[in-house]
Structure 1
Amino acid sequence: MNKVLLQWALFSFMFGLALSLPLAAIHYQKNSSFKGIFTNYRKLKSAHLDYFMQALSAAFVYLIGFAAHIEFAAYILIPFIFGVILNPTILLLEATPYIRSGWIRFIYRCLRATSPASLLFAWLAIAFLFLPTYMTIILLAVILISGIGILTFLIKRRSRNEVGVKITEIE
């Protein structure tokens, strides 16, 4: 089953290579027909690099399994592969104007809601399988402290916005 990781890593790598063609056409040829399809050059470049990064991460997970002589469970591999392929696809869709309407908008919103969460779940499951107990505790502490920091920031920002609304209502 771990061999599937290498297959998807190769697919992601080859997709990143294929994206270099429209990227080069937009960058070097100012009147490229690709500019009509990919209106956001920065997002296209980010998708191109993220496909490479995800290929590297899939190969890394394969090496972890190979070195530990284990087969990853399906509950880890399926969300991981889903995230490896579709997380960069979010950036690729953002590079086009098609995400504003139709069924592509629906697909884009579904991917934004599920793909990063599935990738995070898979990485956390892999970390909990292989990290020693003290490193797992440190990882959980960092996640907890980060979550508290984000919630504190959001609460403070919301209270500042409510105060701003009240002040403008009085004026």
Structure 2
Amino acid sequence: MNKLHLWALLVVLLIPVLFGCTSSTNISTEQVKIFKKSIQADHKQIEKFQVKMSPAGIEFNYVMEGENAESDMQEIFEKTKAFIQDPEFQKDTIEGTYFEKYYKKDRIYPQMYVRFDLDGDEHTDRLYEASYYQTPDVSSEAKRSLLDKYQTWSYMDYAK
């Protein structure tokens, strides 16, 4: 397992401990509503789709069932990744909605999570995760200036 996977696993394991009592909030900006409608129209096997935010990050949660759930997952992820990387999403949803609720002063960009429940059992089967920063340590302005801008994604397969 490489260092990136170890860091991602550590983050995933620590989030429930650090933010276990923090509830998430649905994101319902016009931009997110349009994206949800579009992706659900293109992929009928999506039974449920939520976009939520918490201090730990922004989650795109897909519940899918059917023959093509597994095979279409990659295409859905690629569309979601492109949406996350869109400057308009970063401006309106992150710098607007997210920063308004969390991190008003420090403006620390959130982790991004794209989760797939492929069998409707309410458990994540696949997880993609990305950071805005190159380092998990964002304690200083200098460290926050090292940017990745959600280009590097880690992948976890919990179904195996």
Shorter-normalised TM range = under 0.3
Give the structure with the higher percent helix.
1
**RCO (CA 8 Å, sep 6+): is it higher in 1 or 2?**
1
Q: TM-score, normalised by structure 1?
A: 0.25
